[in-house]
Amino acid sequence: MGKVWVVAEQREGKLKKVTFEMVTLARQIGGEVEGVVIGKDVKGLASELGEYGVGKVYVADHPDLEQYTTAKYTRVLAELINKEKPEVVLIANSAQGRDFAPRTAQRVGAGQVSDITGYEEGVFVRPIYAGKAYTKVGATSHPLIVTVRPNVFSAAEKTGGQAAIEEVAVSFMPEDLKAIVKEVVKQVSGRPELTEADIIVSGGRGMKGPENFKLLEDLADVLGAAVGASRAAVDAGWREHRYQVGQTGKTVSPSLYIAVGISGAIQHLAGMGSSKVIVAINKDPEANIFKVADYGIVGDLFEIVPLLTEEFKKLLKS
């Protein structure tokens, strides 16, 4: 195996956790583990990657890369791949990664394996049929673009290493500048980002209204969790789309997923089926969610959730 690249995902000068998870996967694949950092004022992130065992980091630092756009990221990464010829390129299966990974693959004539959740003896494992089955995919040619589901691989630990840093010359074509980000509107929350959260509390149609999500927020704050929602809750206007977990929302893989008032439609299971432990709370004992749950509570969520919140407060305080 030759070069295995980790394309770092960063926000506002901070590396996302999935970047370190991809470093773990890169080590499993073998070969020379190298990194790519794209953005503005990101040279410090390259040094940070070196501390986690990445031997060399390519840095594309340019004022026009401060905000992500598909065309500019694709241009930078495709030119770098064509020049350096890595065998495998790992990109996070985030909203951003899903956007520019396939375009980059097309630009460089590479194959792509999407949303992988495992790696076994030279082949990548990915879910199919909304998570009902898994398939193993190997490469017959290189380069290969691979998008990696967050929260599946353990994050790499520091090795105390130091990366060689190579600064990349950046230039754009006129067509790359057709879309310009003028403003980013931030919504500040003290809770973890949904796709990177270790614990998620999600609500569905059984919540009966937007005001009742306060019950889930209270539980999430005690657990240090993120709050999610089913498509039914989002379609009803109870939560914004950014909270939606499922086939048409976000795919998550937390250590603990608590599904409250969620029936367990196949579209929802496709987004959270790879959670390590699933707890379901539903008054319907025949609800489909119990078929995938590790633990289930049959009862009124409006009684159960406050009790859980209080018990967790006591437990975590002790």
Q: Tell me whether residue 267 is annotated as binding.
A: yes
- 310 phi, psi to nearest 5 deg: -65, -40
Q: Tell me whether residue 244 is annotated as binding.
A: yes
Same fold, 3-176 and 199-317: yes
Q: Tell me whether residue 261 is annotated as binding.
A: yes
Per-residue pLDDT of the chain (318 residues; tens, 9 = 90+): 789 999 999 988 899 999 999 999 999 999 899 999 999 999 889 999 999 989 999 999 999 888 898 999 999 999 999 999 999 999 999 989 999 999 999 999 999 999 999 999 889 999 988 788 899 998 888 999 999 999 999 998 888 888 999 999 988 877 776 777 777 766 666 788 899 999 999 999 999 999 999 999 999 999 999 999 999 999 999 999 999 999 889 999 999 999 999 999 999 999 999 899 999 999 999 999 999 999 999 999 999 999 999 999 999 987
Q: Tell me whether residue 268 is annotated as binding.
A: yes
Secondary structure percentages of the chain, helix, strand, coil, to 5: 35, 25, 40
Please choose, from the candidates 110, 97, 22, 6, the residue with its C-alpha nearest in 3D space to the C-alpha of residue 58.
6
Q: Tell me whether residue 245 is annotated as binding.
A: yes
The predicted pLDDT at position 303 comes to 97
Domain boundaries, the chain: 3-176, 199-317
The predicted pLDDT at position 111 comes to 94
CA-only gyration radius of the chain, Å: 21
The predicted pLDDT at position 105 comes to 97
The predicted pLDDT at position 129 comes to 84
Superfamily grouping for domain 199-317: TPP-binding domain (3.40.50.1220)
The amino acid at residue 222 is: V
Q: Tell me whether residue 209 is annotated as binding.
A: no
Q: Tell me whether residue 248 is annotated as binding.
A: yes
Structure tokens given for 181: 């980000």
Structure tokens given for 208: 């009966």
Distance CA 177, CA 179 (A): 5
Q: Domain 3-176: give its CATH architecture.
A: 3-Layer(aba) Sandwich (3.40)
Q: Tell me whether residue 282 is annotated as binding.
A: yes
Q: Tell me whether residue 246 is annotated as binding.
A: yes
The predicted pLDDT at position 189 comes to 66
Residue 102 host element (H or E):
helix 95-108
The predicted pLDDT at position 187 comes to 65
The predicted pLDDT at position 122 comes to 87
